[in-house]
Structures are given as structure tokens and as C-alpha cells.
């Protein structure tokens, strides 16, 4: 079962609408037992790093989420769903992330913050999911990865920054595919297809 993590924030409606348009079966849940038995997980984006981690803690979702990721459940993180995979963020000093990927989230030092709008990504390696195309971003922060091999795509905003990461079963995007029109819909469809989703 595909499970969408409902941590009390995020851009749930757009993600749900997109999946509904595909005819995909899914569960929307904030229950630890549903996270534990999920076959696939989507962590929607939008929110403050510290508040999201606090919500996960209150709902007792941190350990079930970590265990699902570590045992190989296919995972798609969006925006803050990417950021919480890392150790920490400048947005919430002293708050620990999930620590699944090593590195930190830092704030842009130049330009108008947040970055809002369309930006073209550059996919580093061959990807069955991501293409070199324009996607919609709303972010003040970006990931600095300790292991450069996990960087799947980059984009430019005064500097080159991490636009997407991938490691094994884990894929996450700093941009919002659910807000990226047909390009984003095609991306999510390819991710579902790559996981063997039969209902889309």
C-alpha cells in the first residue's frame, strides 16, 4: 500500500489530487502502525524543519519512519521531506533530523529568499524518474551532502545547490513536483511506475 505521511502540515491536497488523477490507491495517515506496514511512502513538503520534526516526535513517527527507510521501503520526499532526511538544519539550530543521509541544511546567502518560481534542474546521472527540465521551487534552504554521490540533481540560484537526492530506496526533491504542472505529474508517475505501482 502506498502511504502518504500526514504529519500535520505539508502540501497534502496537491499531492492527493495528483494521485487521485492517476487512479492510484493510497492511505493518508499519521499512525505509526500504518508507516510500519507501508509498501511505499510519500513525505509531502512545506513547513519549518523544527516544527516538522516536533510533529513527527509528538505523533511517535520518527522511529517507525526511520525503520521503514532503513529496511528499504521505497520513499519519495518533497521539499521539507528531503530536508528532514539529513542531520540538522540552520532553520532550527539544535534540532536533530532523521540522520538517514549525512549532511546539513543551510540557508541561501544570496538572492531573494525564499527562492520562489521555476528553475531548471541538471540531473547528474541517468535517472528513470527525473529529467533535465523546469520544476517549481519554494525554498530558503538546501542540502549540503556529506556524500556527493547521493546528489541526484542540482540547480542554480546564485550558487549550484542540491535539487534532488537519491540513495537506494530513497529519493527526495527540493522542488515541488505536485506544483510543477505536467512535468511534475510525469515525474511522480515515473516514480510510481519505477516502484511497480499497478494502479496508476
CA distances from 43 to 20, 21, 76 (A): 16, 18, 6
Strand partners for 142 = 106
Q: Which of 33, 48, 79, 90 is catalytic?
A: 79
Q: Which of 54, 176, 197, 200 is catalytic?
A: 176
Q: Which of 48, 54, 110, 178 is catalytic?
A: 178
Burial (CB < 10 A; 0-12, 13-18, 19+), residue 30, is middle
Report residue 7: phi and psi, to 5°: -95, 10
Exposure string of 32-71, with b = 16+ CB inside 10 Å and e = fewer, is: bebbeebebbbbbbbbbbebbbebbeebebbebbbebbee
Other residues' Cβ atoms within 10 Å of the Cβ of residue 7: 23
Do 101 and 83 contact (CB within 8 A), yes or no?
Answer: no
Query: Percent helix, strand, coil in the chain (nearest 5)?
Result: 30, 30, 40
Cell of 199: 494502479
Give catalytic status of residue 176 as yes or no.
yes
- Catalytic residue list: 79, 176, 178
Amino acid at each position: 500500500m502506498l502511504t502518504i505521511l500526514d504529519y500535520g502540515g505539508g502540501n497534502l491536497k496537491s499531492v492527493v489530487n495528483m494521485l487521485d488523477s492517476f487512479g492510484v490507491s493510497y492511505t493518508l495517515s499519521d499512525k505509526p502502525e500504518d508507516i510500519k506496514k507501508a509498501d511505499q511512502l510519500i513525505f509531502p513538503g512545506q513547513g519549518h524543519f523544527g516544527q516538522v520534526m516536533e510533529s513527527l516526535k509528538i505523533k511517535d513517527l520518527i522511529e517507525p519512519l526511520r525503520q521503514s527507510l532503513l529496511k528499504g521501503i521505497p520513499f519519495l520526499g518533497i521539499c521539507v521531506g528531503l530536508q528532514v532526511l539529513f542531520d540538522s538544519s540552520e532553520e532550527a539550530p539544535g534540532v536533530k533530523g532523521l540522520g538517514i543521509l549525512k549532511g546539513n541544511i543551510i540557508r541561501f546567502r544570496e538572492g531573494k529568499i525564499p527562492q520562489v518560481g521555476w528553475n531548471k534542474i541538471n540531473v547528474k546521472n541517468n535517472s528513470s524518474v527525473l529529467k533535465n527540465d523546469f520544476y517549481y521551487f519554494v525554498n530558503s534552504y538546501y542540502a549540503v551532502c556529506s556524500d556527493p554521490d547521493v546528489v541526484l540533481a542540482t540547480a542554480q540560484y546564485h550558487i549550484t545547490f542540491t535539487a534532488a537526492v537519491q540513495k537506494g530506496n530513497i529519493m527526495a526533491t527540493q522542488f515541488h513536483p505536485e506544483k510543477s504542472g505536467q512535468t511534475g505529474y510525469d515525474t511522480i508517475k515515473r516514480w510510481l511506475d519505477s516502484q511497480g505501482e499497478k494502479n496508476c
